[in-house]
Structures are given as C-alpha cells and as structure tokens.
Amino acid sequence: MIPMSVDKQPQAQDALDEMAKQLLNTVKQSMGTVEVEQVAQAIQLAQETCAGVREHSKASLEPLRLISPLEHALAIATILAQMHIDAVGIAAGVIFEAVDADLLSPERVEATLGSPVARVVGSMLRLNILERKKQA
C-alpha cells in the first residue's frame, strides 16, 4: 500500500478541476459521447474517493514532494488520452491510484464503471504486485 495522509492544507481544487477539464477536452477530440461519459464518470468517482488525500513521492532521489493521488491519476489519464488509448483504458488510468491505495474497491469500480474497466484495473494491480515483489 502507498503511504497516505489526509491533507491538512487547502487542496488546489481549481488546479485539479482544470486538469479534469483538460482531460475531458482531450477525450472529446477523439471519442464519442458514450466514451466521454465513461471517462467523466471515472473522474467523478476518483474525485469523490480521493478528496483530501495526499501521497508521498515514490522517487527516492527526489526531494519529498506531496502529490495527491487524484493529481497523479489525472496526469496519467491525460497521457493515455493523448496516446488515443480507448475510454476503458483512460477510465482505468483515472481510478487506478485510488484502488491501489485501498481507497476504492474493485467491486465499486465494476458497479460504477463496468467489468471491462474493473478487469483492466485488476490486471494493473497484479502487475504492480509483481513489480513490488521484484523490488523487495
């Protein structure tokens, strides 16, 4: 599990809202209404789940920098959207951090976003577990 703490400072909500808006604009350029709605639902779920949570930087050589799981997820999902990954992949990218940090259950992902997104997230979790075991 990733070390987390509750944010005691006001979160830069405007910046996060702008990131989410930019992600949706990128998705709208190459996808239809149904796909855009799926990504929007994933963003909403991540926003609800990650509100006020901060994550410590994982890079040992970087100075300690706090970054929210939502900020990280939106950045990753934006990269995926720019690569023209499908809506399932982008939605999985948006909510993966929350699932990996045990803030969101795979069951809720499946109920909210569907089994294709839940399967991708499950695969990502398994890869993450293998990588962590390899590093240990």
* Domain count across the chain: 1
User: Quick check: is 87 in a domain?
Assistant: yes
Range of the domain at 108: 14-55+62-135
As a whole number of angstroms, the distance between CA 105 and CA 54 comes to 18
Average pLDDT score over the chain: 85
**101 inside domain:** yes
> Euclidean distance between the first and final Cα of the chain, in Å?
13
Sheet holding 53-56, edge to edge: 4-6, 53-56, 66-67
Residue 93 placed within a domain:
yes
CATH number at residue 125: 1.10.3210.10
**Domain annotation covers residue 4:** no
Q: Is residue 9 part of a domain?
A: no
**Where is pLDDT greater, at 112 or 9?**
112
Answer for the pair 129, 123: CB distance below 8 angstroms, yes or no: no
What is the band of 128 on the pLDDT scale with cuts at 50, 70, 90?
Answer: confident
Q: What is the DSSP letter of 51?
A: T
User: pLDDT tens across 89-113, in order?
Assistant: 999 999 999 999 889 999 999 999 9
In a domain, 78, yes or no: yes
Q: Provide the angle, in degrees to the nearest 10, between the axes of the packed helices 13-30 and 87-100.
A: 150
Asked, for residue 31, whether it belongs to a domain, the answer is yes
How far apart are the C-alpha atoms of 100 and 128, rounded to whole Å?
Answer: 9
| pTM for this prediction | 0.81
Number of residues that this document lists for the chain: 136
Could you read off the pLDDT of 30-51 as tens digits, one per residue? 999 999 999 999 999 999 998 7
Residues 125 and 100: beta-carbon distance below 8 Å: yes
What does the alpha-carbon distance between residue 110 and residue 22 come to, in Å, rounded to a whole number? 25
